[in-house]
Amino acid sequence: MPTVTTRDGVEIFYKDWGQGRPVVFVHGWPLNGDAWQDQLKCVADNGFRGIAHDRRGHGRSTPVWDGYDFDTFADDLNDLVHALDLREVTLVAHSMGGGELARYIGRHGTDRIRSAVLLSAITPLMLQGQDNPEGVPQSVFDSIKQGIVTERSQFWKDTAEGFFGANRPGNKVTQGNKDAFWAMAMQETIEGGVACVDAFAATDFHEDLKKFDIPTLVVHGDDDQIVPIDATGRKTAGLVRNATLKVYEGGSHGIAMVQGDKERFNRELLDFLKS
């Protein structure tokens, strides 16, 4: 399997499809690079090189016990970019991956980065607080962690409903969407699952977003039940210079995987890549 070895010896699995200007996809939690298969094919079919890796502790990467923080994730991404000697990269990140993208730019700059796409991203801060009343209460994150350690298989089945908006009237979510979510979630280590909740709940990305100096597309569903748009997408678009916000009416957290929104996102991604 194609892997990159990080500075601390972790093996990061990646897919690498097509030829042309590189587009690196960063997956959300609790998924892995397989979540981007539709987009990988889309960009590779249209003259770009699509790359998607599995975060440490997820999918086929090393199932480590520690390192589940955004400085480490960003450095892992930097190791991938340098190992493959990628330049003029467009980074595309979903959910928790949006924090990884933001922290990468905060720590490593944009010398190798051409543009960025933040899809249903957790930036700038998820946790509810006095300065972030639109955020998610700590009790919700505590409940997520409890669900993982109590019975993670059933927890992931239950979580898939809200992730894709399968609990909304007239939704286009398939059983296949939910099964794929469960299969990827079960490949994540249980320690990674719990530790990532603490990381994406409380990490503040305000300063990272202020360092963006590249064209940035922010895409978010206004019915995202996992990462509320008012706490994240709208604020991110206001903080990032050169940002364009696209709001998907009725869009769930799993925009890139559900029919209808998926095709729209693929079209708008290609338009952005070609601009």
**Residues carrying an active site annotation:** 95, 224, 253
% helix, strand, coil for the chain, step of 5: 45, 20, 40
Return d(Cα 203, Cα 196) in angstroms, integer. 10
Task: State how far the Cα of 227 lies from the Cα of 245, in Å rounded to an integer.
Answer: 16
Token digits of residue 221: 């569903």
- Per-residue burial over 179-216, b = 16 or more CB atoms within 10 Å of its CB, e = otherwise: ebbbebbebbbebbbbbbbebbbebbbeebbebbebbb
Q: What does residue 92 show for φ and ψ, rounded to 5 degrees? A: -125, 120
Give SS3 for 136: strand
For the range 1-7, what are the long-range contacts, defined as Cβ-Cβ under 8 Å and sequence gap of 24 or more? 1/60, 3/61, 4/53, 4/79, 4/80, 4/83, 4/84, 5/79, 5/83, 6/56, 6/75, 6/76, 6/79, 7/75, 7/79
- CA pair distance 182, 158, nearest whole angstrom: 9
Q: Which residues are within 8 A (CB) of 11 and not within 5 positions of it... i.e. 6 or more apart?
A: 3, 4, 5, 61, 62
